Structure 1
Amino acid sequence: MSASVALAAAGCDGPEEHGHPLHARARGTEQEAASYASVLDLEGLGRGVLVRTRGGHAVKIEGNPQHPASLGATDIFAEAAVLSLHDPERSQRIRHDGAPQMPRQLNAALAAARDALPPDGAGLRLLTGPLASPTLARLIGEVLNLYPGARWHRCDPLADDAALDGSLAAFGRPVAVLPDLARARAVLCLGADPLGPGPAQLRQARDWSVARRNGRAAGALPHLFVAEASPSLTGARADRRIPLHPAEAESFARAVAATLGVPGLASSGSHAAAAGVAEALRSAGQAGLVLAGRGQSPAVHALAHAMNHTLGAAGTALRLTAPPMARPERMTASLAALVADMVAGQVTHLLILGSNPVQEAPAALGFADALRRVGVTLHAGLWFDETAQRCHWHVPLRHPLEAWGDSRAFDGTPAIRQPVTRPLVEVAYEEASLLSALLGTPLTARAAVTATWRDVWGEESFESRWAEALETGTAGGPAPAIAPPLDPGWDRPGRPPSTGLTAIFAPDPGLREDAQNAWLQEMPRPMTGIAWGNAALFDPQTAERLALSPGDEVELILDGRRVLAACWPTPGQAPGCVTLPLGGGRAAAGAVGSERGFDANLLRPADGAWLAGGLEVRPTGRRAALVATAPPHRPDGSGAVPRLRAGEELPPITPQASLHPSWPQPGRAWAMVIDVDACIGCNACAVACQAENNVPVVGPAELARGRGMHWLRIDRHDHPQAPAASFQPVPCMHCEKAPCEPVCPVNATVHDNEGLNVMVHARCIGTRTCSNNCPYKVRRFNWNDHRPSLDTARRNVEVPLRPRGVMEKCTYCSHRISAARSAAAVEGRALRDGEIETACQRACPTQAITFGDLNADDSAVAAQRRDGRSYALLEHLGTRPRTTYLAPVVPGDTT
């Protein structure tokens, strides 16, 4: 009886525990799952989301249209958060030296530790990741006021300290650079990747697609120049990409600045491409913009500020604000100071909140060894990871979808994070409650958050503004713009980089800190096609000189530190550079994330530098375990993606002769158009499709055999001219004359009355004749029964699970079509154009996907079919696909 009562209590969480109408009104109709606004952090900064729930459980994440960092779109990390929430390997219990403990034992230990602290808290250290939460910043400030001898440190492996130093040199203060790509007419990226993964990707990708769309209409496309050492998503879409060794970056920037006439320049540089780039920037004037990225020196960042100041870009192509992060400082210096204090025996108590420094800090820094010298260490995190295993105490944290909190976006916009799902871990803590316990006044996380915003809004307006913030997903506006003057002595030339083969440390474009997430592990990286691991990216010349082929194992040596990695020659990589992705080679990331690829942190210098010269490469003569879904170089020799100059048009799509009988379709005719000119290859659509349709993960062995189950793939077509590549999403074409249908012996793949090519799984006997007859190769055979691995609390109940031995493919999200049709019938109206959004369409940050009724002449999809850029994939086969494309437009002159 007592067990039954306990189980019932655990399953009956009140509105204090998850999204509930008492906190915020649900979005959506009664026929749909309820959605609640919240916020998810990436690199410490928030992106607004809407979380769809069923029975108190989160099943799907969408972007919040009212949040400036998402604008209704999602990235791969937001989409995959629901899988991390339901990860069965999440930390489930309190541990002391690895042994499970009860909460009362933890409370007693914390009380004893607090009593052992001296009155000023000397010896107490707090360590967090990057943090922009107003509530956590307030609580940490109160802890430091109560214990003046305590210190707060941060660990951020992706921190760009050079950007901070560059802004201090240029303006004498930290600044955040917020580009407005929608208003930019010419952009120069010095190692910057504004269209690549990051907390501002969704907004910047949307803005750039708007600029392209407006430019096509006006007949004057904006210019995008990218000077970088390793290929990126932004570089792939650039009008001109300049492979640039880091040793040449400052000289190139100085050459551009000198041509622009930037005042106060200490010296000029030289580069053949500088004059043309500078001329484009000068012609754009205030709509010109220069961005410097990770890995650039402080001098390059200062040069970018000076060029923007000379162009007058502030207020047009960019906005400067105070940084949204709490207490901007040099992250690597902060962590190095903590290690020095631990080695010196000055740290007696260390509280680590939501960070994994043993894994994320450079191995040369020696954090793991220094940690042993601390008397009391407590780690709070979602997983029992590398740091948790080396701490005396470990406590589970609640997942962000389960916990109260707040955050700021890249532009400073605040938002409240509310629980939107039932807690899946019985005993779990929140950062705010742990910090309040240090203050001797234990509070729930909700009480801490409400206290913060009660002080901001005042008592009289608090209740109304609180309710509005929970419902809309924002709690205020962006940070105000600032206009600091340029320091007269801003130009401080940097030291020349060391010579020899250069190691470039870079974030893995598909992981960040999410190595435990199988959706992210199995999604091929857009520029390499690698999944379930990583590889060292070589330029083809260096690979040829060392006689290395794709997948060969090499030993990388830097300052005596060694690691084994796979070699992957990459076209576009600057000669003399080897890019080493961070985030792989984990030792304690569970069955999904452990031992995937190599750990670049083992080579990274102790100061967290993004570049290091003197890299040695020694082939081992062995092959590495590498899963790659595409060859390292696939030139577009087939003309699969036509490219147009401004004003050019393609011949209209005309029906080809067919042996299939014709039949009238007087009703709706669902169709999709994908704008290749807007697609940036970010994979958000593919992960959204996987989350929406219960698409299973097959693992590295099956993926290597070509048995991946993704219903939507993104083909990258490399071009010898700019842009360097085109990304072409390929779902099911839903052919009107479908070659898959007549060959099915049991009539399992058929057309419905609205033109959808549907699968009747109950009929399918797994002959795979339909897949053999599909020229687009978009049908997937379910070799294994993946249903037991799909958690029923996570999966979308509107989409049935498919048994082993049947074909799967894109359905145009037919369940969404059905739900919208039912809602319209209940309301006694016709379906509206744009009312139905497929999962891939909703996730796309550039709005490259349009879906609707082709038979409605006034629909958006019909209008795009009539566009002069419209083309069909393999049109000559006469399949008459319902999925068509819009060709990219290239500038007439990219010199």
Structure 2
Amino acid sequence: MEEHKLKVLDPEEGVSRRSFLELLGAGLVAGGIAACEPPRGEILPYSRQPREVTPGKPQVYATSIVERGYASGLLATSWSGRPTKLDGNPEHPATLGGGSSIHHQAAVFGLYDPTRARTIRRGKQSGSWTSFFTELQESLAPDSRPHFLLEPTSSPLSIEQIRRIRKRLPSATFHFYDPVDHSAELAAARRAFGKLAIQRLHLDRAQVIAAFDADFLMDRPFHIRYAYEYATHRRVRSTSDGMSRLYVAEGEVTVTGAIADHRIRTRPSRIPDLLLDLLGAIARGRARLAPERVAGHGDLLAGVKDRASSPWIDVLADDLLAHQGAGLVAIGPRQPEEAHVLVHALNAILGNLGQTVTFTDPVLFEAGTESHGLAPLAESLQRGEVDALMILGVDPVYTAPADLELESLLPKAKLRIYSGLHENTTSRACEWFIPAVHFLEQWGDARAYDGTLSLIQPLIRPLYGGHSASEILAAAAGDPAPDDRSMLRYRYVKVAEDTWERALRHGFFSGALPPLGVRLNPDAARAAVGALVQRSPVLGLELSLRPDPKLGAGEHGSNDWLIELPDPITRLAWGNAAAMSLATASKLGLRETQVIELAAAGRSIRIPVLPVMGMADDLVSVNLGWGNGAHPREEEHGLFSAKVAPVGVNAFPLRTNQAPWIVGGATAQKAARKAFPYAAAERVEESLAITQTNLDMQDRPILLTNTLEGFRAVPDFVSPTTTPSPISTANPGPTPGSSGACRSTSRPASDATPAWWPARRRTTRPRSAGSTHSRAGRCTGSASIAIGSARATTTCACFRSR
């Protein structure tokens, strides 16, 4: 893992501090002048702001950001024509309540990023749009075999351009690729219900939520909406209010798992076994099920009723049976198709379908078809059937599964064209490069996860020129001078002007896709259960690959704000690491910061170790999205030379087309320096930038927790008290339920901590003074459990004794 290098001037130039500040000021002035140019065409301010521009006061505009093909509503604050802040649109269904993600906040940096591509390139020489269009038309002859590789899209405007190209060139082939693939969910819906459908969770209706390897608060398309619904349903305003209960089974520690009421740590490959155990526990309680739900599933339940299950599963099954129609079982996209079918069966048997779980038609264009994925493109390249290849937005050379060997296949295309915000590994393998525009510089449209049609309107003229994906597709369709604003308005020409302006002011057209009526196929459920029962267990060390919470699958790898942001769990910044439990690290003889040779599927990487409390044993987790070789470049930007080195370790070489997420049979060994002359470049220790190493509150009342029952008994337990702090560790601690002060004890972090907490619902509120117990001094037996990379943690001795 190489060190990230900030943009610096060459020290040999001998630039003084005064000269440097003069150059810096000149660059800021030049950038400021360019940033204040108005966008192309008229844009309308958000309806709650005045129409007139008042000097010194910002204006707010509604727009949308597209992530993995789905739109989220944003409100962009602009000062004198310069966008400076992005927040969630509280009226948009994807950002209901006004929430936003770290990627939304950091998108402003992407707009002003000085390393963005600025010029059209043909080989190593600069080019022009005219020469590009001319060569493109020559290559798109009627008998040619062009291929297009795009990100998954829900944009009606882009879909219209695709249909224009197919009409003009019947032999054209389109491929859609997203490294974070959700194909198992669509395939499972087709098997279980006989139709393609996407799942929509209703957390505001659920009393009991069970998440199996599903971080729905962080990495799902609707995660901001889900977080809003979950928080709303958990908020306690009076003693008569209830709370939902959250169960989480996972291998890594996720944001969803960190706030769970009950959490069990297990390897990702064991999730299907836990689901079978849950089905068996429900089968033993089938007398509590409604007869109409059991009909048709008798054989399914009878076949698993004798499966032994853990106490954690028994408690969950009892809770779900007690809340039929108000429960919810969710599963993550990394799990196999059969596991998704089993989850559909569980929700159907428990009466959750149509209540807390609904389904709609897929929003993405051609979702669930062979056009989604890289394998067909790789086969066409291997056979030499690609005359021209146009790649828009994605970086397949970096993110493609290693066994496809796409980098070596790309030169077989006769003409290669790439468009993106930055030069990267894929653009270097292409002859033409067309700079793309930022979403704050373009017109467009897209659908939200629920189908809501959202609009994208610019706030500023493109700073570095560039063209949108819809414009480049229009050029392929034969338009020599495409304009995204004109194309967008023509696409909605039948919409009345007042309706159009209202949609621009609010950022979207009202209306979502209606829910589909689905009915579970019992034969599909039985077949899925049979396949899961016969699965071979994963032996040895298990490798788990997952998108990074900050950089995703690498699409945010050039955003320095996100690179510097600490991980929400490990607090690690400026890189990734091989996370493992403390017991696993001890078993392998490894320690923190030690570099290991991590091998899987015949390939290996060198990466530092980071022990993390709360992870499953015999599991190594590595975040994708780091170590992109696209950024070790040197580009001239006016007065400065931007020098950027890759940060972190690229884990995509360990990913294959057959095992993109979970790989068995991995090995981890201490890395050794190679023989001279490479020894100086090999590292066996790697410093990790962890921003928080101490999770001990030292008995300070920073955050208090209590059970729901304790809150109902003493609603003002967060009121200031006179309890002395800190409490001496020499004082003996009471037993749970007794009065008096409780003893806090610092202890080494250990995986001996119970994997699931007591069956209690907890409410959390901040306070400025007091202790972690009730005002009467009675110990409730609960305490804040901090999960992270710290070497020690503090918990209540009473809680541990339970």
- TM bucket (normalised to shorter chain) is 0.7 to 0.9
Partner residue of 1:234 out of 256, 262, 275? 256
Query: Residue in 2 aligned with 1:82?
Result: 108
What is the CA-CA distance between 1:451 and the residue it aligns to? 2.9
Quote the Cα distance in structure 2 between the aligned partners of 1:868 and 1:155: 41
Q: SS in structure 1 opposite 2:60?
A: strand
Query: Residue in 2 aligned with 1:688?
Result: none
* 1:656-686 deviation line (CA, Å, top 9, x unaligned): 99xxxxxxxxxxxxxxxxxxxxxxxxxxxxx
Query: Residue in 2 aligned with 1:515?
Result: 557
Match status 1:243 vs 2:265: yes
Kept in 1, the 8 Å contact 2:269–2:662? The answer is no
Query: Residue in 2 aligned with 1:859?
Result: none
Partner residue of 1:538 out of 565, 576, 580? 580
Partner residue of 2:611 out of 569, 578, 590? 569
Query: Residue in 2 aligned with 1:126?
Result: 148
Match status 1:480 vs 2:514: yes
For 1:428, the aligned partner's letter is: G
Query: Residue in 2 aligned with 1:50?
Result: 75
What is the CA-CA distance between 1:141 and the residue it aligns to? 2.4
Quote the Cα distance in structure 2 between the aligned partners of 1:91 and 1:23: 34
What is the CA-CA distance between 1:488 and the residue it aligns to? 2.6
Does the C-alpha gap of structure 1 residues 388 and 231 become closer, same or farther in structure 2, counting only changes over 3 Å? same
What is the correspondence of 1:650-661 to structure 2 with a 5 Å cutoff?
650=717, 652-653=719-720
For 1:652, the aligned partner's letter is: S
What is the CA-CA distance between 1:553 and the residue it aligns to? 0.4
Query: Residue in 2 aligned with 1:759?
Result: none
What is the correspondence of 1:166-181 to structure 2 with a 5 Å cutoff?
166-181=188-203
Query: Residue in 1 aligned with 2:6?
Result: none
Match status 1:213 vs 2:235: yes
Kept in 2, the 8 Å contact 1:128–1:154? The answer is yes
Quote the Cα distance in structure 1 between the aligned partners of 2:159 and 2:537: 37
What is the CA-CA distance between 1:873 and the residue it aligns to? 5.9
Quote the Cα distance in structure 2 between the aligned partners of 1:213 and 1:596: 40
What is the CA-CA distance between 1:15 and the residue it aligns to? 5.4
Q: How many aligned positions are there?
A: 670
* 1:74-99 deviation line (CA, Å, top 9, x unaligned): 11000000001000000100111232
What is the correspondence of 1:488-507 to structure 2 with a 5 Å cutoff?
488-491=522-525, 492=528, 493-494=531-532, 495-507=535-547
Query: Residue in 2 aligned with 1:731?
Result: none
Query: Residue in 1 aligned with 2:677?
Result: none
Does the C-alpha gap of structure 1 residues 554 and 110 become closer, same or farther in structure 2, counting only changes over 3 Å? same
What is the CA-CA distance between 1:868 and the residue it aligns to? 11
What is the CA-CA distance between 1:453 and the residue it aligns to? 2.7
What is the CA-CA distance between 1:602 and the residue it aligns to? 1.0
Comparing 645-654 with 569-578, greater Cα deviation is found at: 645-654
What is the CA-CA distance between 1:305 and the residue it aligns to? 0.9
Query: Residue in 2 aligned with 1:847?
Result: none
Comparing 157-166 with 261-270, greater Cα deviation is found at: 261-270
Kept in 1, the 8 Å contact 2:39–2:441? The answer is no
For 2:689, the aligned partner's letter is: V
What is the correspondence of 1:697-708 to structure 2 with a 5 Å cutoff?
none
Partner residue of 1:337 out of 367, 376, 395? 376
Partner residue of 1:354 out of 393, 410, 415? 393
Quote the Cα distance in structure 1 between the aligned partners of 2:696 and 2:174: 51
Kept in 1, the 8 Å contact 2:146–2:173? The answer is yes
Q: SS in structure 2 opposite 1:613?
A: strand
Quote the Cα distance in structure 2 between the aligned partners of 1:215 and 1:275: 31
Query: Residue in 2 aligned with 1:364?
Result: 403
State percent identity of aligned pairs. 29
Partner residue of 1:200 out of 222, 232, 242? 222
What is the correspondence of 1:801-816 to structure 2 with a 5 Å cutoff?
none
Partner residue of 2:767 out of 853, 871, 874? 871
* 1:395-430 deviation line (CA, Å, top 9, x unaligned): 0011011001111112111101001123211x3111
* 1:825-844 deviation line (CA, Å, top 9, x unaligned): xxxxxxxxxxxxxxxxxxxx
Quote the Cα distance in structure 2 between the aligned partners of 1:503 and 1:593: 30
For 1:598, the aligned partner's letter is: V
Partner residue of 2:662 out of 601, 611, 615? 611
Partner residue of 1:310 out of 349, 354, 364? 349
For 1:508, the aligned partner's letter is: D
Kept in 2, the 8 Å contact 1:290–1:307? The answer is yes
Quote the Cα distance in structure 2 between the aligned partners of 1:547 and 1:138: 58
Q: CA RMSD in A?
A: 3.4
Q: SS in structure 2 opposite 1:490?
A: helix
For 2:159, the aligned partner's letter is: A
Query: Residue in 2 aligned with 1:703?
Result: none
Partner residue of 1:135 out of 157, 163, 179? 157
Query: Residue in 2 aligned with 1:183?
Result: 205
Kept in 2, the 8 Å contact 1:360–1:601? The answer is yes
Q: SS in structure 2 opposite 1:489?
A: helix
* 1:208-258 deviation line (CA, Å, top 9, x unaligned): 111111597535321111111111111011111111223321121112123
Query: Residue in 2 aligned with 1:781?
Result: none
Kept in 2, the 8 Å contact 1:161–1:332? The answer is no
* 1:614-651 deviation line (CA, Å, top 9, x unaligned): 111111161124211133x8466736433212243426
For 2:613, the aligned partner's letter is: P
Query: Residue in 1 aligned with 2:739?
Result: none
Does the C-alpha gap of structure 1 residues 17 and 536 become closer, same or farther in structure 2, counting only changes over 3 Å? farther
What is the CA-CA distance between 1:509 and the residue it aligns to? 0.7
Match status 1:106 vs 2:132: yes
Quote the Cα distance in structure 2 between the aligned partners of 1:536 and 1:592: 27
What is the CA-CA distance between 1:547 and the residue it aligns to? 1.4
Match status 1:429 vs 2:467: yes
Does the C-alpha gap of structure 1 residues 101 and 871 become closer, same or farther in structure 2, counting only changes over 3 Å? same
Quote the Cα distance in structure 2 between the aligned partners of 1:247 and 1:222: 28
Partner residue of 1:469 out of 468, 483, 503? 503
Query: Residue in 2 aligned with 1:452?
Result: 491
Q: SS in structure 2 opposite 1:149?
A: coil
Quote the Cα distance in structure 2 between the aligned partners of 1:349 and 1:428: 21
What is the CA-CA distance between 1:869 and the residue it aligns to? 5.1
For 2:651, the aligned partner's letter is: A
Could you state the TM-score of these two structures normalised by the residue count of structure 1?
0.70
Match status 1:265 vs 2:304: no
Comparing 128-137 with 324-333, greater Cα deviation is found at: 324-333
What is the CA-CA distance between 1:13 and the residue it aligns to? 5.2
For 1:614, the aligned partner's letter is: G
Quote the Cα distance in structure 1 between the aligned partners of 2:216 and 2:256: 7
Does the C-alpha gap of structure 1 residues 874 and 613 become closer, same or farther in structure 2, counting only changes over 3 Å? same
Could you state the TM-score of these two structures normalised by the residue count of structure 2?
0.78
Quote the Cα distance in structure 2 between the aligned partners of 1:111 and 1:99: 20
Quote the Cα distance in structure 2 between the aligned partners of 1:719 and 1:540: 10
Query: Residue in 2 aligned with 1:697?
Result: none
Quote the Cα distance in structure 2 between the aligned partners of 1:281 and 1:49: 37
What is the CA-CA distance between 1:47 and the residue it aligns to? 1.0
